[in-house]
């Protein structure tokens, strides 16, 4: 069976990135959107990334337009938004689907590993999957979970 490091995804810039390059790090994988009520969570995600990256942590952002059309932009517009509004430095990937037949294989895997309260489907933007250093999906957090509320849980994995 495939593991988290067997997947790859296109970066916003268009190059294919293997998740193998994140092996040994604690990861927080998040489906994001630029025009969502939860969009201000970018600030907390970046703060976590800045504070904990030196200890082996990374946030990985995956823009998605499946919830209320809240990520309508192209890659350049998404990058511009994230940079100018939130000074995002964590890796951002190309826009993907997280549900349905066209869901990115990484998100199919994540949902299979940690189902939500109402089943495997992702219900909205800013659903968060926490992955330990060995690549095991240890937790799934709802969009309402603020990034800063995950600090203790992340630190326990570091």
Q: What is the CATH number of domain 30-157?
A: 3.40.30.10
Euclidean distance between the first and final Cα of the chain, in Å?
26
Query: Is residue 18 a contact partner of residue 150, using CB atoms and an 8 Å limit?
Result: no
Q: What is the pTM of this model?
A: 0.96
Asked if 82 is an active-site residue, the reply is: no
Q: Which residue in 36, 48, 110, 122 is the catalytic one?
A: 36
**Which parts of the chain have pLDDT scores under 70?**
1-2, 117-118
What is the distance between the alpha carbons of residues 23 and 124, in angstroms, rounded to a whole number? Answer: 27
- Please report, for residues 25, 52, 136, the alpha-carbon distance to residue 157 in angstroms, rounded to integers and kept in the order given: 9, 11, 11
What local confidence, expressed as pLDDT, does residue 2 receive? 66
CB 90, CB 46: distance < 8 Å: yes
Name the region of 156 (left: φ>0; alpha: ψ -120 to 50; beta: rest). Answer: alpha
pLDDT tens digits, one per residue of 74-120: 999 999 999 999 999 999 999 999 999 999 999 999 999 988 766 78
């Amino acid at each position: 069976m495939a593991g988290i490091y067997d997947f790859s995804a296109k970066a916003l810039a268009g190059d294919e990135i293997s998740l193998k390059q994140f092996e040994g790090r604690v990861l927080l994988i998040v489906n994001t959107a630029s025009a969502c009520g939860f969009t201000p969570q970018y600030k907390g995600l970046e703060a976590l990334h800045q504070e904990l990256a030196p200890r082996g942590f990374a946030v990985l952002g995956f823009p998605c337009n499946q919830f209320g059309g809240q990520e309508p932009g192209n890659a350049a517009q998404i990058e511009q938004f994230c940079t100018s509004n939130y000074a995002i430095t964590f890796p951002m990937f190309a826009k993907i689907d997280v549900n349905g037949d066209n869901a990115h294989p990484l998100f199919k895997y994540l949902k299979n590993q940690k189902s939500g309260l109402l089943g495997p489907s992702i219900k909205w933007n800013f659903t968060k999957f926490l992955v330990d250093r060995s690549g095991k999906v240890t937790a799934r957090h709802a969009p309402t979970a603020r990034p800063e509320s995950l600090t203790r849980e992340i630190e326990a994995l570091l």
